[in-house]
């Protein structure tokens, strides 16, 4: 249960109690749409209502919040976010295309070309290393 988000924790506890979203909403004095948003992690209940929510779900506030903090506290492997991975791949591609174009136009010194290609290869290596950490 520690890897669940706060919303999935609410949903799991609610289901354990045999409650519907509407049942929980009525007990909390909110709409069932609000409960749905909490469970999908689109919004968070008001902090002042957490004791009431914990009581409705049959847990303490600490237990209710501990699930989220335990999930955050677990160390994760180094991962390159998708955008950073895309940027690294784009840099590698740009270096390859740039060196090719400059070589065709005879505008680049071979040592500089190797440096540019090395930057591109380093970017691809970072992407590959991030994928090997996931295994």
For the entire predicted model, the pTM comes to 0.48
Nearest to 11 by CA among 19, 3, 62: 19
Contacts of 126 by beta carbon, 8 Å cutoff, 6+ apart: 80, 88
Confidence bin at 21 (pLDDT 50/70/90):
very high
Average pLDDT over residues 20-24: 93
Are 54 and 24 in contact by the 8 Å Cβ rule? The answer is no
Per-domain residue ranges of the chain: 6-73, 82-134
Give the domain 6-73 fold: 434 Repressor (Amino-terminal Domain) (1.10.260)
Provide the pLDDT for residue 56: 92
Structure tokens at 79: 């991962």
What local confidence, expressed as pLDDT, does residue 69 receive?
45
pLDDT tens for 78-105 read 555 778 888 889 999 999 899 999 989 9
pLDDT band at 3 (very low <50, low <70, confident <90, very high): low
Q: Higher confidence at residue 73 or residue 12?
A: 12
* Cα dihedral: 53, 57, 63, 66 (round 10): -70
Structure confidence at residue 86 (pLDDT): 86
pLDDT, tens only, 28-73: 999 999 999 999 989 889 888 889 999 999 998 888 887 544 444 5
């Amino acid at each position: 249960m520690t890897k669940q988000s706060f919303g999935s924790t609410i949903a799991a506890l609610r289901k354990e109690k045999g409650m519907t979203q509407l049942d929980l909403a009525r007990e909390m004095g909110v709409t069932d749409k609000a409960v749905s948003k909490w469970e999908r992690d689109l919004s968070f209940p008001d902090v002042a209502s957490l004791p009431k929510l914990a009581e409705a779900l049959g847990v303490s506030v600490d237990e209710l919040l501990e699930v989220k903090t335990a999930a955050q506290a677990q160390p994760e492997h180094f991962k390159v976010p998708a955008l950073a991975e895309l940027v690294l791949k784009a840099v590698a591609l740009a270096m390859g295309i740039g060196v090719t174009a400059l070589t065709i136009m005879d505008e680049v010194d071979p040592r500089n070309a190797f440096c540019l290609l090395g930057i591109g290869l380093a970017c691809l290596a970072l992407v590959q290393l991030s994928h090997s950490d996931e295994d």
